[in-house]
Structure 1
Amino acid sequence: MRCMSLLLLGTCLVVLGPAVRGAPSQCPSQCHCHGDLQHVICDNVGLKKIPRVSEATRLLNLQRNNLGNLPTGSFSESKGLISLHLQHCQIREIASQAFKGLKKLIYLYLSNNDISSIKPGAFEDLTELTYLYLDGNQISDLSKGIFSPMINLFILQLNDNKLRDLRPGTFTGAKDLRWLHMSGNELNTLQPGSLDDVENLAILHLDRNKLSTYPIAAMSKLRVVEELTLGRNPMKSIPDLAFQSFGRYMEKLHLDNMGLEKFSDGAFTGVTAIKSLHLDNNKLKSLPKSLEFGTITNLTLSNNPWSCTCQLAPLRKWIDYSRNRPDALCASPPQHRGKQVRDTTAFSGCRGKPKRAKKGTRH
């Protein structure tokens, strides 16, 4: 009987072990819980600090609370978390090892806070993290290797921060990153090598920054970019071979609202798959010889001072055979000023490209 009592006591200690150690076994006050504490919802309930939750919790929603800072070990007792929501929490700083222990976390939402400081090591242990949202903060600098634990990172949202520069080593370790959003920052340079660690990017958004020259050295290691947005950067020209390294994959290119004045003739060398090209609201008079129209299905050209000479004849030919009839007005020569490129007779005397002679043909 004594043995049986001891055995039962041992069993009780095993079953109640977590509770004995002080781990929470009930829903935090002010919060709503579902599925045996697997989902803990504390949205806009006036919290000033992070509540303790069970290791069974998979989703923790703390949106719209005033949490201030995230100290070291903020979630040390929440090792089962897969999704963590911290949007609109007035967070200013993320301490080193703030997410320590969250080795199962896949989704981390930190959008629309006041984050200006992310300490080195802040993202330690986040080896399974796949989606990271840091948009709508005050981040001006990213330390070297800050994302290095994130070997499975797929999407990184950094839109609408205050980033001024991008340096080599920023993305060390995040070799599987595919979507990188950095729109609406203050970037004036992307240093050579700054994107070398994420050469498999498929989507790169750099619109609404302060880039005055195309960062060809930084972009040259990218291999499979499908969508690139550079609109609303004060960039006057696009150089030769700008998109060559990923040109056979690129399908969408946004170069609108830039004050863009010209393309070098070889700017589109290697670009063979483009479907959507946006060039509206610039200062363009002509298009480069290297731009092939064969795959384009969506083209915007409005609010440019187009020179309706034979250099634009390939564009007019494409318009004649396309369902897409973009709005584009001639600014010159004078007799065609104000007429639509698609309607003017300015190209009636232009000759097409001469056909190449077949091999072996005598002249």
Structure 2
Amino acid sequence: MNINMKMDFSSSLTSLLLLALSLPSEAGKCPRLCSCDSTKLTVACVGKNLTEVPPTIDEITVKLDLRSNNLQELPRGAFMLTPYLTHLNLQRCNIVKVKEGAFRTLGRVVFLNLAYNKIDILYQESFDGLSSLKELHLDHNRVEEIQPGAFTQLGFLNMLALTHNQLVYIPNMAFQGLNSIKWLRLSHNSLNNLAPEAFASLFTLIRLSLDHNELQFFPTQAMNRLREVTRLDMSHNPMIYLGEESVSMAKLTHLYLDHMSLQDLSDQALSDAPLLSHLDVSFNQLRYLEPLSGPKQLGSLNLTGNPVYCNCYMRPLREWARVGGVKLLGVCAGPPHLSDEPLQAVAPMDLRCRSRGEMLVDELEKEDENTESPPPTAKPKQKVKCPVNCECNTEAQHVTCEGRGHTKVPRGFPTKTQLLDLRSNHFHNVPASSFPGTSQVVSLHLEFCKIHQIEGSAFQGMKNLLYLYLSDNDLTSLAPGTFAGTPELTYLHLEGNRLAQFPGSALAVLPSLFVLHLERNSISTLQHTGLLSSSSPKLKELYLTNNTIASIAKGALGFSFLGTLHLDANQLLDIPTQALSEASNLEELSLSQNSIRWVGPNAFQPLSQSLKRLYMDQMGMEKMSKDALAGLGPGLTALTMRGNLLEELPDLSPLTGLEVVDLQDNPLRCDCSLLPLRRWMDNVSMEVTAICGHPAEIRGQKVKDVLVFSSCSEESFHPKEMVVAPRPRKLKKPKPNLSKGSGVKTRPVKPKVKLPKPSKNKTQIKLLSKTMIKSKKAV
């Protein structure tokens, strides 16, 4: 070895020593269960069951990811040691409360994700200190109250997401302080009323999402405050009529009113929206429409899914659209000779009514039918009455008696009432015919009323009722005729009661039932005779979380259109394969937090053509057959098996459509038997976190990082059917639910990457390692 080579070798050893000496101090700044990148200044502690923010995070950290932990409460000064953070992710951390001053030192944070937690109130000081925040995610929480001044510290916020919460009412000045807000998302709440000044001071707002709520009328007063909004989504709200000058928004360009209950739309409804270019009123109940006054730049009017009758009453609209260059989307529902004809293709001259003689005959027939009860010559004016200790808003068609101490259901509501709110009273018993004169009511709230009995025909006459909320009462059973007289009931909430059996006989009179909530009851079995699935032909979503279900009979789930089934946090010991054979259209199945230790072959075969999302977290699962997922192919997009006891996994390569995979917190055995999983992980573009639990020397390392698989040959891998004798099983109280699917949503790619081949000369590597160690000692 020449002098130069010796000097280079000595220099290399010195560098290695310096690096080794520096490692302990660097490692000390990274919490034990976390992964840190000192170059990007990021720390990730995802899914580590942390109960507090790690105190050893490096002060200069810029991005902190604490997803899927168990923080529950954020105390004051929770992030005092990380003042340089710009991005903070606290998604799925079971956070119930954010205390005053929790974020007070985070003046540099621009992105904060608090989604999928359990926050119910936004306090005045909740976000104090976040003076630079631009994006705040509070979706999928339980927010039901926004206290005044909750957002006053967020002057630079651009986007606020409050979707999928429990908001019923937005008070005046609720969003005061959001001086830079561009997009406010309030979709998927239970909003039925907005205060006139609810959106006051939002002078920069451009986009507002209010879809999937319970607004019965267009909130004209509240919307008048939004001077800059260009996009407004009000779809999926049960509005029936849009009156004159309802929409007064000078800069509005896109308005979505689809999937509502619109039966009439005034020609002057949009007279104060001159810049409107796109109007979507698809999937409503409009039979015809008059030319719209106001919008001068309208380019598209979507009438798809409406029962439009193409006769002479539609001629003015068709001519108006032709002259103004407005594209009409949709087809004629009648008369027969124009049925299914595109509106855009129908010529104005083809839009004709019947002859005057024919119409005169019809009028005479109608007169004959009405001779017994001639109309009065003058309609007397009647003073609108309201029950004592209630508030009646006749314009909004909304009545509230919430929390007024009523012990009996009040009588004498205005006949046009559409939303009736009676929650938080003390009714105990609801007798027959408790709601006379309420045939127009669409939504009825009876939550937290301590109801333990509902007599048959209690809701008789409520022929337009769509939403019924009976959550959090003391019901132990429901009589067969409980819901008689409510043929249109679509959404039924019975969660948080003490029902011991599935109320199948009570549901037999609900042909329109679409969504049924039965979470947090005491149902122990699902019997074939108890569901009466043929009586609920439209049932699409069934939620049975947190009951005590231990068995499901074959045929008990025979709802032909059932698409979502949540059975998590029950007492099932096996996959209910036979019962699932009747649910041929099921797309989402949650079995998490059941004590299912063994998943046998073909467990989900009956759902092979429909299942898209499968959740099996925290079940204590120890073994899976190599054919457990047989039949589930490209259609499955989400698979989670987090927090189980699995050492081996079946081959996932047939599941080519997966976008979300969660295998965390399983003690996988990292030997050649796991080679198919390792190959699959190398050949998909999404990030899959899987950790080795065995053997001991590599415990805690990521499956993708260990080199043991490089020595595996094709001959060394012999897949065997994993059969295990059933153990005695003790039913345990379910642990708190962790997140569903925390993987990155990307599409798999075709296999391209090959595993590294084993080294041809391991002896040389060992000798070289020994030489380096001796050289270091000499230095």
TM-score computed with the length of structure 2 as normaliser: 0.41
8 Å Cα contact 1:26/1:37 also seen in 2: no
Cα displacement (A) at 1:236 = 0.9
* In 1, Cα distance between equivalents of 2:378 and 2:430: 33
1:253 match: secondary structure: strand
AA aligned opposite 1:234: S
1:79 matched residue in structure 2: 439
Aligned partners of 2:652 and 2:401: how far apart in 1? 56
CA drift of 1:282 comes to 0.8
Match of 2:486 among 121, 126, 133: 126
Match of 1:31 in 2: 390
Deviation at 1:170, TM superposition (A): 2.9
* Partner of residue 7, structure 1: none
1:211 Cα offset (Å):
0.7
Letter in 2 for 1:229: S
What is the rounded CA distance, in whole Å, between the counterparts of 1:50 and 1:14 in structure 2?
34
Tell me which amino acid in the other structure corresponds to 1:120: P
Superposition pairs for residues 1-363 of structure 1, below 5 Å?
A: 25-36=384-395, 38-52=397-411, 53-172=413-532, 173-196=535-558, 198-272=559-633, 273-289=635-651, 292-350=654-712
User: Is this contact kept in 2: 1:336–1:346, CA < 8 A?
Assistant: no
1:346 Cα deviation after fit: 2.1
Q: Which runs of 5+ in 2 are unaligned?
A: 1-373, 718-779
Cα deviation digits, residues 57-106 of structure 1 (max 9, x gap):
21111011111111111113322221111111111112112112222111
The CA deviation at 1:308 is 1.6
Q: Is the 8 A contact 2:514 2:540 kept in 1?
A: yes
Q: Structure 1 residue 174: deviation in Å? A: 0.7
Shift of 1:37: 7.6
**1:6 aligned residue:** none
Question: Which is further off, 130-139 or 91-100?
Answer: 91-100
Counterpart CA distance in 2 for 1:14 and 1:113 is: 47
Distance in 1 of aligned mates of 2:377 and 2:573 = 67
Q: Determine the C-alpha separation between the residues in 1 that align with 2:480 and 2:460.
A: 13
- Structure number with the bigger relative contact order (C-alpha 8 A, sep ≥ 6) is 1
Structure 2 residue matching 1:146: 3-state secondary structure:
helix
Conserved? CA contact 2:450–2:474, under 8 Å:
yes
- SS of aligned partner of 2:676: helix
CA distance in 2, matches of 1:205, 1:271: 19
Letter in 2 for 1:141: Q
Letter in 2 for 1:256: D
The farther-off stretch of 125-134 and 141-150 is: 141-150
User: CA offsets, 1:192-217, max 9 Å, x none?
Assistant: 11111x13211100000011121111
Contact 1:37 1:56 in 2 (8 A): no
* CA deviation after TM superposition for structure 1 residue 135, in Å: 0.7
Equivalent position amino acid for 2:575 in 1: Y
Structure 2: distance between partners of 1:340 and 1:169: 49
Counterparts of 2:502 and 2:473 in 1: how far apart (Å)?
Answer: 16
CA distance in 2, matches of 1:248, 1:16: 62
CA distance in 2, matches of 1:202, 1:11: 49
Aligned residues between the structures: 338
Amino acid aligned to 1:153:
L
The 8 Å contact of residues 468 and 493 in structure 2, kept in 1 or not, is answered as yes
**Matched AA of 2:679:** K
What CA distance in whole angstroms lies between the structure 2 residues aligned with 1:314 and 1:199? 37
- 8 Å CA contact 1:165–1:189 kept in 2: the answer is yes
Q: Deviations over 1:305-327 (max 9, x none)?
A: 21123332232223224444333
Does the C-alpha gap of structure 1 residues 171 and 76 become closer, same or farther in structure 2, counting only changes over 3 Å?
farther
Alpha-carbon offset, residue 239 of structure 1 = 2.2
Q: Distance in 2 between matches of 1:314 and 1:58?
A: 59
Rounded Cα–Cα distance in structure 2 between residues aligned with 1:161 and 1:143:
11
**Distance of 1:336 and 1:161 partners within structure 2:** 44
Post-superposition shift, 1:41? 1.2
Segments of structure 1 that go 5 or more residues without pairing to the other structure are 1-9, 354-363
1:231 CA drift (Å): 0.5
Q: 1:266–1:290: 8 Å Cα contact kept in structure 2?
A: no
3-state SS of 1:347 partner: helix
Look up the equivalent residue of 1:165 and give its one-letter code. Answer: T
Cα pair distance change 1:147/1:312, threshold 3 Å: same
Quote the Cα distance in structure 2 between the aligned partners of 1:144 and 1:274: 31
* Distance in 2 (alpha carbons) for counterparts of 1:14 and 1:225: 57
- Distance in structure 2 (CA, Å) of the matches to 1:311 and 1:164: 39
SS in 2 for 1:314: helix
CA 145–285 in structure 1, closer or farther in 2 if over 3 Å, else same: same
Q: 3-state DSSP class of the match of 1:277? A: strand
The one-letter code sitting in structure 2 at the alignment partner of 1:233 is: N
SS of structure 2 residue aligned to 1:118: coil
Distance 1:100 1:87, change over 3 A: same
Counterparts of 2:378 and 2:537 in 1: how far apart (Å)?
A: 42
8 A contact 1:137–1:160 mirrored in 2: yes
Amino acid at match of 1:175: P
Contact 2:443-2:467 at 8 Å conserved across structures: yes
Q: Normalising by structure 1, what TM-score?
A: 0.86
Q: Is the 8 A contact 1:145 1:169 kept in 2?
A: no
